[in-house]
A and B are shown apart, each in its own frame.
Chain A
Amino acid sequence: MGCWLGFGLAMAEARALLEVRNLHKRYGAVVATRDLNLTVRSGEFHALIGPNGAGKTTALAQLAGELRPDSGHIHFNGRDITRVAIQRRVHLGIARSYQITSVFPHFTAEDNVALAIQAAQGHSFRLWRSARRDDRLRQPARELLSRLGLYEQRNEPAAYLAHGEQRQLEVAMALASRPWLLLLDEPTAGLGAGGTRRMAKLLEGVKAEVTVLMVEHDMDAVFALADRISVLVYGECVATGTPDQIRANAQVRRAYLGDQMP
């Protein structure tokens, strides 16, 4: 009994990788992020859900460093990163993917991933040796592509990839820096049922090696993947808990009008 209690406490106190305290962001009269408090524990798969316009992407952009909050703090690995620029946060171990696919359209899939790997390696002021013949970039890029099911398409320009493949490329690029924390913004955006299942399966494989905070609309994917779920309504976190707790939460059901909650 005491053992189980101890285990429970250990879980509750599992090290917080990301801590968000009283984050606030407004655009004129619209409060996009309202006093947001959120903790992402090391090793967990955390989903951020909420109705349209709840400020999920805005929150993610602040965590990634693309938007600066008006007030509040973001701690990562025990360090206050609230005012650290996005390109620096990558080197601290945060990477993000985009809801609207944001890749390099004229580069091949392999180029895209290699460029992401190069960012993490540094050494980008090398002016002489060909980057496309650099095995320290190409080898890991191909490995990552095959893990995300894109090996066959590695020489296709990203612009010519199918939408689902571009979504996979998004995730591959975010993983390239070997982040501690992966911020995923709707990885299944625009995917059909088959594509969504495929993406969920790929993310299942990612889960073991990196802490994830994922914004997602597809509730099947959320409840299948997430260890914990936070619910955002009007920029405010109204509930955090395990999938079961969230499913049972009356406030959450009201926010979603009881519809798509499985």
Chain B
Amino acid sequence: MVGILAFHGYQGEALLSWPLTIVGTESGLVVLPLAALVGALLAALFGAICLRTSGIHFIMITLAFAQMLFFLLVSLERYGGEDGLTLWERSVVPGIDLNDPLIFYYFCLAILLLFLWLAQRVVASRFGMVLRGCRQNERRMRALGYATYRYRLAAFTLAGAGAGLAGALIANQTEFVSPSLLHWTRSGEILAMVILGGLGTLYGPVFGAAALLLLEDQLSSYSEHWMIPLGLLLVGVALYARRGLYGLLAGLRAGDG
């Protein structure tokens, strides 16, 4: 989910989830938009710094920010510190009983579909064309007159909003928040979903997330070392199917997703 709006694939990863927002407020329709807003603001803040770098430096600096937040949350004893915090109940949305697991599932699915629809509009818009141009050839974008940093920061911020929303949903699902949501291994897991599903594609990460969870489920029933075949699979995808599962499903067109 996270890498979707961030057309650079990995850039939203560090902004995984913002259980913080739930800790402070009472449940309601307020929580989800607020989570998205906080996600966006933090993304804008970190992005303003991170996006001055690129490539491996960018990955390292986003990772550093994520770890910084992780340790900040660990040190906040009042909000549970390392142990995390149990939520007493799920958010209340009028007319929808989110405590029913199936209804909660459909609620999340609806949000996912809405998000994908919005993202698809954005991808096809003028703004989306600029981002896709940046991904293909940023130098030429500048030579054409685009202040590319501005657009990348806007995309990063949108990705942050999406990540914030996802974070609020995950906290609702588990009814528990802990700093482990912010740990870098979590970012790695999401990155694996994106790579498996297809870097730089809109729908790929959805397939990637489903595939990763299914694989995890299946493989772990054979052996506790299930991460070994999974790792090999990821290496294979990274080497031979750069557009991941989505690339395989949609055919290997020279898309720019």
Contact = CB atoms under 8 A, between A and B. Distances in A.
Interface of A: 64, 66, 85-88, 90-91, 95-96, 98, 102-107, 111, 114-116, 118-120, 123-132, 134, 137, 157, 159-160, 173, 176-177
B80 interface: no
B127 A116 contact: no
Given A127-B127, A130-B124, 8 more contacts: A64-B143, A86-B143, A90-B144, A115-B133, A118-B126, A118-B129, A118-B130, A177-B145
Given A106-B254, A115-B133, A124 B127 contact: yes
Nearest to A157: B254
Given A127-B121, A157-B254, A120 B145 contact: yes
A115 B254 contact: no
Interface of B: 121-122, 124-130, 132-133, 136-137, 139-148, 151, 154, 254-256
A96 B127 contact: no
A41 to B, nearest CB: 24
A90 B128 contact: no
A183 B139 CA distance: 16
Contacts of B124: 130-132
Main secondary structure of the interface of B (DSSP, over half): helix
B136 A107 contact: yes
B57 to A, nearest CB: 21
A98 B141 CA distance: 13
A102 B139 contact: yes
Contacts of A137: 126
25 contacts: A64-B143, A86-B142, A87-B146, A91-B145, A102-B139, A102-B140, A102-B143, A103-B140, A105-B254, A106-B136, A115-B133, A115-B144, A119-B145, A123-B126, A124-B151, A127-B122, A127-B126, A127-B127, A128-B125, A130-B121, A131-B129, A173-B140, A173-B144, A177-B144, A177-B145
A116 B146 CA distance: 9
A85 B151 CA distance: 16
A128 to B, nearest CB: 6
B126 A126 contact: yes
10 closest A-B pairs by beta carbon, nearest first, are A90-B145, A106-B256, A119-B145, A119-B144, A104-B136, A126-B126, A131-B126, A130-B124, A131-B129, A102-B140
A105 B136 contact: yes
B130 A87 contact: no
Contacts of B143: 64, 66, 86-87, 90, 95-96, 98, 102
* Most A CB within 10 A of own CB, among B124, B140, B151: B140
Given A102-B137, A157-B254, A131 B128 contact: yes
B129 A111 contact: yes
